[in-house]
Structure 1
Amino acid sequence: MYEHTLTDGTAWLTRPTGTDIDRIVECCQDPELARWTTIPSPYHRGDAEDFLDRAVAPGWASNVPTWAVRTAAHGQVEGMVGLHARGHRTCEIGFWLAPAHRGRGLMSRAVTLVCDFAFASDGLDLARITWRAVVGNHPSAAVARRNGFHYEGSTRSSGIQRGSRVDEWHAARLATDPPTPAPNWPDLG
């Protein structure tokens, strides 16, 4: 797959490269990131190098890209958003954001850009994008809901987080779903 930079003039999504390693390591020191994602904890330079070599490069080669989220065309990494193959014309979306940018709509913009590209016939032409999060990850759920993902339920002990089983929330968006906030999400309080 050829590289695609996605932007709406506020968020820029580009392929992360070796020049981003130090910033990725810096962002991944955040305890909240380790709490809700499967990144290694503690996170070291070698982890970022492995991420670029074992996830980013093969992903771009097989039409499941990972983008660095930036606030300027050549700005530093502020987060990541990526797709992971989950069957015919289906991917799972995953994302994280540095603490300084949380709650400002940056990740919602990034997910909008990714979904638009992923569903486009001249993009990835996906039929379905799934999302899942550890129960309690309210910021991630808010981003999914705002981007038209429909809540599909929770599953008990379906995820693995640092060697322990965790309950997960699940949602999905179909290519035919509008990109507006999805109805019928329960109070996940």
Structure 2
Amino acid sequence: MYEHTLTDGTVWLTRPTGADIDRIVECCQDPEVQRWVTIPVPYHRSDAESFLDKAVAPGWAGDTPVWAVRTAEDGQVEGMIGLHDRGADMCEIGFWLTPEHRGRGLMSRAVALVCDFGFAPDGLALARIAWRAFVGNHPSAAVARRNGFQYEGLARSASVQRGVRVDEWRAARLPTDPPGPADWPQHVLPG
């Protein structure tokens, strides 16, 4: 797959490169990123290098791209968003954002761009984009809900985070689902 920069004029999604390594390391020191994302803790430069070599490069070589989230075309990394292969015509979306940019709608914009590209016939032509998060990750749930992901339930002990089994919330969006806010159970919505 050739590289695709996605933008709506407020957020820019570009392939992360070696020039972003120090910033990725800095961002991955955030306790909330470490809490909700399955990254090594502590997170070192070698982890960022491995991420670029073992996740980003093969993702762009196939159909599972990973983008750096930026607030300007030539801006620094403020987060990551990517699609991960989950079988024929299906991917799972994953994302994180730096503390100073949370709560401003940037990740909702990024998810909208990735979903549009993922479902587009001249994009990835996906039949399904799944989302999952550890129970309690209300900000991630809010982003998924705002982007039309339909809540599909609770998966008990479905993941392992730092050696401990944890429950997950799961949702998905199909190309026929409207992009706006979806109805979700009250217990999943932020308080």
Question: TM-score higher than 0.5 here?
Answer: yes
CA distance in structure 2 between the partners assigned to 1:21 and 1:78 by the alignment = 12
Shift of 1:163: 1.4
Q: Deviations over 1:85-120 (max 9, x none)?
A: 001100000000000000000000000000000000
CA distance in structure 2 between the partners assigned to 1:81 and 1:131 by the alignment = 12
Map 1:53-64 onto structure 2 (within 5 A). Answer: 53-64=53-64
Shift of 1:187: 2.5
Q: Which residue of 1 aligns with 2:9?
A: 9
Over the aligned positions, Cα root-mean-square deviation in angstroms equals: 0.7
Shift of 1:77: 0.1
CA distance in structure 1 between the partners assigned to 2:97 and 2:177 by the alignment = 25
CA distance in structure 2 between the partners assigned to 1:113 and 1:96 by the alignment = 15
Q: Which residue of 1 aligns with 2:138?
A: 138
Q: Please list every run of 5 or more consecutive structure 2 residues that lacks an aligned counterpart in the other structure.
A: none
* Residue 120 (structure 2) pairs with residue 123 (structure 1): no
Q: Is the 8 A contact 1:133 1:141 kept in 2?
A: yes
Question: Mean alpha-carbon deviation: is it higher for 160-169 or for 47-56?
Answer: 160-169
Q: Deviations over 1:102-161 (max 9, x none)?
A: 000000000000000000000000010000000000000000000000000001100111
Q: Which residue of 1 aligns with 2:33?
A: 33
Q: Is the 8 A contact 1:79 1:95 kept in 2?
A: yes
Q: Which residue of 2 aligns with 1:81?
A: 81
Map 1:61-72 onto structure 2 (within 5 A). Answer: 61-72=61-72
Q: Is the 8 A contact 2:117 2:124 kept in 1?
A: yes
CA distance in structure 1 between the partners assigned to 2:159 and 2:178 by the alignment = 28
Q: Please list every run of 5 or more consecutive structure 1 residues that lacks an aligned counterpart in the other structure.
A: none
What amino acid is aligned across from residue 31 of structure 1 in structure 2? Answer: P
* Residue 22 (structure 2) pairs with residue 19 (structure 1): no
Identity across matched positions, percent: 77
CA distance in structure 1 between the partners assigned to 2:184 and 2:134 by the alignment = 19
Describe the SS at the equivalent of 1:187.
helix
CA distance in structure 1 between the partners assigned to 2:140 and 2:74 by the alignment = 26
CA distance in structure 2 between the partners assigned to 1:42 and 1:166 by the alignment = 20
Q: Is the 8 A contact 1:159 1:168 kept in 2?
A: yes
Describe the SS at the equivalent of 1:73.
coil
Q: Which residue of 1 aligns with 2:172?
A: 172
Aligned residues: 189
The TM-score normalised by the length of structure 2 is 0.97
CA distance in structure 2 between the partners assigned to 1:116 and 1:73 by the alignment = 19
CA distance in structure 2 between the partners assigned to 1:71 and 1:132 by the alignment = 25
